Amino acid sequence: MADDKILVYFKCQHCLQPLRLDESLDSFSEHIFAELTLPISSVPDVDLESQATSFDHYVHPCRLSDSGNGATGFMLISDGREVEMETLSHKMRVRAVLFDLVSDNSFIDHPLCDECTDSVLQLLEQQIQLVQTDCEDFTKYYNKLEKDTKEPSLSELQKELEDVTSEEKRLMEELDALEQEEKLTLEAIKEEELKAKELAKEENNYWEEYITHREDYDDTDDEYKSLERQLQYTQTQLEKLTNTNVFNATFHIWHSGHFGTINNFRLGRLPSVPVEWSEINAAWGQIALLLTALTRKINLNFEKYKLVPYGNHSYIEVLADQKELPLYGSGGFRFLWDTKFDAGMTAFLDCLQQFKEKVEQLDTEFIIPYRMSKGKIEDANASYSIKIQFNSEEQWTKALKFMLTNLKWTLAWVSLQFKDQEDVTL
């Protein structure tokens, strides 16, 4: 650089490096200015953004009016010497106008350094080659179309136009029909929607009624099942009662070892088993009640005697003498015993004999296992007295057991005869 000049530098709009401009750019003629102001239309578009490798530091153009402190536009570098302000202003204005003209007529901002200019030129050459290749391809395709394509005549074109017009008319009519059909369809859809709402309302009412009736049905079904179970239970109980004999259920005659029993009350005494007299008296009360019930069933009235069941103080009334013969004892045995108890047991055996004879009149096939006569009971081998005096406890107990056996046979016969009758009153 010369010492007597102030050199002005601009920044490259691509790499931002300072530029040394040629002095010939300080001024140019009006003819050159007019040529530069003409628009350039043949320059192909340059996509600078797609060329990221070449313009990574692309800087937007700035004008002279935009440059202030050198931060956004070009900057001035001086060697510190003072020059005349008019000369510097003129040079700046000329160069700025030149760069503005060039930037306005291209897609590249100026000024550029030599290296960036070479890059831009290389990029432009690549774009030109691509355009030329496309142009050649289009030219070949155009020539091929001119050779292969036969141009239709006017009549054919008119015929084709008429066909297209007719097809258009038909399509328009079809469109009108479809629009009318769409309108009808929309109306039908609205009607169906109204029906659907009514059906939905009816469905809700139906389900409400269904739930109510279902609850009633469930309650009724539960009640029906409950009644059915009650009926089944009642029928079972009725069947049991039908098959149950009231005499057998009320008076259970059985045995316990050497003793005959009625309702689990033992009748008799043994030296080894001294049964309490209260139990014996209770057994006699049950026997008196049973025979009284049996005689009532066959309408039998005893001769000379009347049975009076009175629990453990039952007795037999002698009709002729108005005497009471007890069917209960209070203790003692053999000679110390009151003969009234023996007389009462003998009278009872006589009553049982009368009942047996009455049954034999009604049923000739009826037979009892043990024969009874004058206060004694006989089996195939021996006879046993029902009295206590002048008798052993073993024989007295056996006589009472045989008497209960005969009574059980008469009970079975009466139960068989009257099992189908509803009147089972004792």
pLDDT at 91: 66
Q: Please measure the distance between the N-terminal and C-terminal CA atoms of the chain and give it in whole angstroms.
A: 160
pLDDT at 64: 42
**Closest C-alpha to 287, from 128, 137, 178, 403:** 403
Quick check: 79 and 12 in contact, CB under 8 A?
no
Contacts of 127 (CB under 8 A, 6+ apart): 44, 45, 46
Provide the CATH number for the domain formed by 250-417 in this structure.
1.10.418.40
pTM: 0.45
pLDDT at 238: 74
Q: Domains of the chain: which residue ranges?
A: 9-146, 155-243, 250-417
Scored b (16 or more CB within 10 A) or e, 89-101 reads eebbeebbebbbb
Q: How far is CA 56 from CA 12, 15, 50, 107, 369, in A?
A: 13, 9, 10, 16, 140
pLDDT at 22: 66
pLDDT at 9: 55
pLDDT at 35: 65
Q: How far is CA 50 from CA 47, 123, 126, in A?
A: 6, 11, 13
**Closest C-alpha to 287, from 159, 146, 406, 167:** 406
pLDDT at 333: 52
pLDDT at 78: 44
For 207-262, the DSSP string reads HHHHHHHHHHHHHHHHHHHHHHHHHHHHHHHHHHHHHS-HHHHH--EEEETTEEEE
Reading the chain (426 residues) residue by residue, the pLDDT tens digits are 444 454 545 778 778 778 777 666 665 666 666 666 665 544 444 454 444 444 444 444 444 444 444 433 444 444 444 444 556 566 667 777 777 777 776 677 777 787 888 888 888 899 899 999 999 989 988 888 777 656 667 888 888 899 999 999 999 999 999 999 999 999 999 999 999 999 999 999 999 999 999 999 999 999 999 998 998 888 887 776 666 666 767 788 888 888 989 988 999 888 888 888 899 999 999 999 999 988 988 888 888 899 999 888 999 999 888 888 999 887 655 444 568 888 899 999 999 999 999 998 888 888 888 988 888 888 878 888 898 888 888 999 999 999 999 999 988 888 887 765 544 444
- Give the 3-state secondary structure of residue 377: strand
| Separation of alpha carbons 83 and 77, rounded Å | 13
